[in-house]
Structure 1
């Protein structure tokens, strides 16, 4: 659930409402392909519940992502096609946001754009650090190193708010109209 905390921790309440309005909530069949390796993806996906599988050609499954994860964000940063296939597991519930709608909001709303890209930068920096650390530490953690499942201290102040925003997004998509924290 770490990725959604980075993103929702930076966005504001109006941004969350926009995602809920513009997003398409659906439950794909097991093994349905959300993103195909090498083929541009038209949507950004939030995993609301269940899991998705990340598969790389010639390697196999490299990750299983669950509740609160986001996939398809890399192509918002660059124009390269996806480097992996993402398939839904049985029972997954997904929120899909059309990238054209998202790009229009990014272009039209500088505040949203700044918050959204900051969230992506924080997440991608954390992912790079975690990957580098996994590759470099075989015999234990270096002093001051952050373990893969730890959150960076700089986002701890937004953690509670991000969790509340995610729960609100889920309630909003389920038809509830709960207030924001």
Structure 2
């Protein structure tokens, strides 16, 4: 859940309302493919409820994503084909945002563009730090007082947590009231 706080904490109320209106609510059955490795995806997804499995060919399952996680953000940023397949891991509700619509909004609203890319940068930095921490499991390491543990939020983000949580709740109410 904290992942969505990085995104929503940096966007404005208007941005969140736009996302809820522009997006499609997807109610997915187990095994439904959201993103397929090596194939273009026309949407960016936010997991609203349930889980999604991230599988890399030749490696296996590398992650399990939950509420608030973003799917397809790396390919959105660098335009490369997806490096993993992401499927619903049990029943999953997701918000699908058309990449074409996001790109149009980015071009027409510079403020949104700045907030959106900053949010993605923070989100991706957190995901990278989490990956590095998981790779270090088993290594002898001292507790660095400045290191952010996986279940902690950066102090700079704490001011935005309450606001982001309220925004997520509003988005959920909008999406849960809408039909897929």
CA distances 1:73-122 after superposition (whole Å, capped 9, x unpaired)? 11221011111100012221111011000110011100100000000111
Partner Cα separation in structure 2 for residue 64 and residue 83 of structure 1: 15
Alignment TM-score, normalising by the size of structure 1 = 0.91
The alignment status of 1:126 with 2:115, answered yes or no, reads no
Counterpart residue number, 1:162 = 164
Offset, 1:67: 1.1
Partner Cα separation in structure 2 for residue 78 and residue 29 of structure 1: 29
Partner Cα separation in structure 2 for residue 89 and residue 143 of structure 1: 35
Matches within 5 A, 1:1-181: 1-136=1-136, 138-144=139-145, 145-175=147-177
The runs of at least 4 consecutive aligned structure 1 residues that moved more than 3 Å come to 133-137
Alignment TM-score, normalising by the size of structure 2 = 0.92
Offset, 1:146: 1.7
Gap runs ≥5 in structure 2 = none
Offset, 1:130: 2.8
Partner Cα separation in structure 2 for residue 70 and residue 88 of structure 1: 13
Partner Cα separation in structure 1 for residue 132 and residue 87 of structure 2: 26
